[in-house]
Amino acid sequence: MTVEIIGTYATAILLLIGSGFVAVGVIGLLKFNDSMTRLHAPTKVGTVGIGALLLASVAHSMVLGELSMHELLIMAFLFVTAPISANFIAKVNIHLRSCETPPSPPLDDTWATLNAPDDGEDTTQGAKSA
């Protein structure tokens, strides 16, 4: 009986924490006015926000007596894939010059995203022949 009560409270608290962080992430997304700063908001939602909601799901399944571990996998996949989408959005921002231009790297010529061939025609021809 006590385990059930503790589980229920844990579920409720984790749900509150998770939805709190998701709310803050959404506020950040709406509030910031630059695409690069906006990018910071979803990283919060993707980590602690979703993490707490999924842990709430685990705790709830424990209360019901059918322990479910799928949530851990969801978390693992989210942690692996979230940086990649963030990286792609950042690359698009750099490429479109829709943000402050980054300082050039100290050791190499340029950033990988900006390292495009100067002649646009060459690339299209290469794509056609390939």
Partner 1 sequence: MARAVQWLLPHPYLTLLLAVVWMLLQNDFSAGMVVFGIILGIVIPRITSIWWPDTPKAFHLGKMMRYSLMVMWDIMVANVEVAWIVISVPNSKLKPAWVVVPLDLRQPEAITLLAGTITLTPGTVSADLSDEGHSLLVHVLHTDDPDGIVDDIKTRYERRLKEIFQ
Work out whether 19 is an interface residue with partner 1 (CB under 8 A).
no
Query: Residues in contact with partner 1, total (CB under 8 A)?
Result: 48
Supply the DSSP symbol for 67. Answer: -
Token digits of residue 54: 């999924």
Kindly tell me which of 83 and 126 has the beta carbon lying closer to partner 1: 83
CB contact at 8 A, 54 and 17:
no
Smallest separation, CB 106 to partner 1 (Å): 6
User: Which residue's CB is nearer to partner 1, number 5 or number 123?
Assistant: 123
User: For residue 47, which of 16, 80, 70 has the smallest C-alpha distance?
Assistant: 80
Binding to partner 1 by residue 102, rule CB under 8 A?
Answer: yes
- By the rule CB under 8 A, 48 interacts with partner 1: yes
Stretch of residues binding partner 1 (CB under 8 A), selected from 8-16, 43-51, 121-129: 43-51
Write out the binding residues for partner 1, residues 53-82 only, by CB under 8 A: 68-70, 72-73, 76, 79-80, 82
Q: Which residues contact 106 (CB under 8 A, 6 or more apart)?
A: none
98 is a contact residue toward partner 1 (CB under 8 A)? no
Q: Which long-range contacts (CB under 8 A, 24 or more apart) does 82-85 make?
A: 82/42, 82/43, 82/46, 82/47
Is 1 a binding residue for partner 1 by CB under 8 A? The answer is no
Q: For residues 28 and 40, is the Cβ–Cβ distance under 8 A?
A: yes
96 scored as a contact of partner 1 (CB under 8 A):
no
